[in-house]
Structure 1
């Protein structure tokens, strides 16, 4: 969908007007729109990516920009666990929420790299907001 619109310097996990930055990564545009629609009114700046490779490029370019990444598991080019592993290498403090309609938490049970949380699709919007607040506040 969109990529970071500006090339401002990292602002301690906050974007415009001190709003926490959330990166949403999913190859389903409707899910990205849902995440933005749920989180933006609650004070989060949501930047969406329909391609995990572009999301990884954004994290590499500004590793301290975002407070949280919400990523799907099953995507083209790269799965969510691969994305988490590569993001952790450049932004170890980035909180990551894995979402999926195809796998459960067992997918990362034995992995050396872990997400900070998991939500199964479809999830109620209040559950998404609660999980984001648990991970990064606001």
Structure 2
């Protein structure tokens, strides 16, 4: 029987949402399903997330997935992803939003090669979140 990989070697799922309860709920749902195979990290601003990504890059970590809210103060989700893909171009990308705005989705898909656009709330995660994340982590 093989030993589990040390946590620092696990690939990372990073969530970015300025709404603390939403950020915590998303991280909780992701840890519940993927915590044995991925480190789930969260940030509550685009600036904090970019800082974290720079540190992860310096350490040689792998970021598998970025899940980011579109509407955040100071740096929206698309602006964040534009910077993030310079650091981790292979990371898959999901945009979260509480608003169904097809123009925002189309713009994000073009500008940052968005993999999926997901509406809040994602509850229950078994139907609203996990199928999307499963697909992206496999592909």
- State the TM bucket, normalised to the shorter chain: 0.7 to 0.9
TM-score, scaled relative to structure 2: 0.78
The runs of at least 4 aligned residues of structure 1 exceeding 6 Å deviation read none
Please state how far the C-alpha of 1:101 moved relative to its aligned partner.
Answer: 0.8
Match in the other structure for 1:112: 111
Match in the other structure for 2:134: 133
Choose 1 or 2 for highest CA Rg: 2
Match in the other structure for 1:89: 86
Please state how far the C-alpha of 1:17 moved relative to its aligned partner.
Answer: 7.3
Contact 2:71–2:97 under 8 Å retained in 1: yes
Contact 1:15–1:21 under 8 Å retained in 2: no
Q: Equivalent residue of 2:122, what SS?
A: coil
Once residues 15 and 50 of structure 1 are traced to their aligned partners in structure 2, the CA distance between those partners, rounded to angstroms, is: 26
TM-score, scaled relative to structure 1: 0.78
- 2:53 aligned with 1:59, yes or no? yes
Q: How many residues align?
A: 124
Structure 2 matches for 1:4-15, cutoff 5 A? Answer: none
Once residues 30 and 49 of structure 2 are traced to their aligned partners in structure 1, the CA distance between those partners, rounded to angstroms, is: 18
Q: Decide which structure has greater helix share.
A: 2
1:78 to 60, 75, 78: 75
Match in the other structure for 1:101: 98
Match in the other structure for 1:22: 13
- Note the aligned Cα RMSD (angstroms): 2.1
Match in the other structure for 2:44: 50
Once residues 19 and 81 of structure 2 are traced to their aligned partners in structure 1, the CA distance between those partners, rounded to angstroms, is: 18
Q: Which runs of 5+ in 1 are unaligned?
A: 1-13
Please state how far the C-alpha of 1:81 moved relative to its aligned partner.
Answer: 0.4
Contact 2:63–2:88 under 8 Å retained in 1: no
> Structure 1 stretch 119-128 or stretch 75-84: which is displaced more?
119-128
